[in-house]
Amino acid sequence: MLGENIRKYRVLAGLSQDDLATKMRMSRAVLSQWENDQEDPNEEQLARLAKNLGISADMLLADEHLSGIEDIDKLDSAKESLGNSAQKLENVQTRFSNLVERQISYYQMQIEHKKQKRRRIVSACCIILGGIVVMILLFLAFLFWINTVSSESPETKIIVIEYEK
């Protein structure tokens, strides 16, 4: 009965014999002997065993009827199935993460293209505005020059020639 309880609670804890033996700092062979009712643990070992399984020693010693090895095998099978499901979920999560990373990369690339386009437009506007400013300055300089030339020699007149039709 004790051996069946040890195995039952080990399986429920999701531990292999090797895992539990490592946690207990003992050999797997001794643990196997306990599970097969070939040998019984002493009080100290029983207390450590219960602690490592996350249960009380009373639960290990309980005389409740176990549903049998078949149920433990079902638990092992369910644990394996759960492990497979977890792997599938991890694969889906990895694919989803990759998809999200590609989408983020695509949007970052689009944003960069828009920034470059905006820079080109701003540069073109600055060049056009600079050209307009230069033209205005040249026109003002020309007017100033005309005013200066006409004020230096008052005799200078602009002659307008009229043509008859």
The topology under which CATH files domain 2-66 is 434 Repressor (Amino-terminal Domain) (1.10.260)
Residues 6+ apart with CB under 8 A from 23: 15, 52
pLDDT value of residue 123: 96
What is the pLDDT at residue 84? 77
- Rounded to whole angstroms, how far apart are CA atoms 38 and 32? 8
Question: What's the CA gap between 132 and 53, in Å, rounded?
Answer: 85
List, in order, residues 6 or more apart from 54 with CB less than 8 Å away: 13
Q: What is the pLDDT of residue 152?
A: 58
pLDDT at 151: 66
Mean pLDDT per 10-residue section of the chain, whose length is 165 residues? 87 89 90 90 89 86 58 68 80 91 94 96 96 96 86 56 62
Q: Could you give the count of Cα atoms lying within 13 Å of 107 in the half-sphere of its Cβ?
A: 6
pLDDT of residue 96: 92
The predicted structure's pLDDT at residue 148: 83
Give this prediction's pTM: 0.40
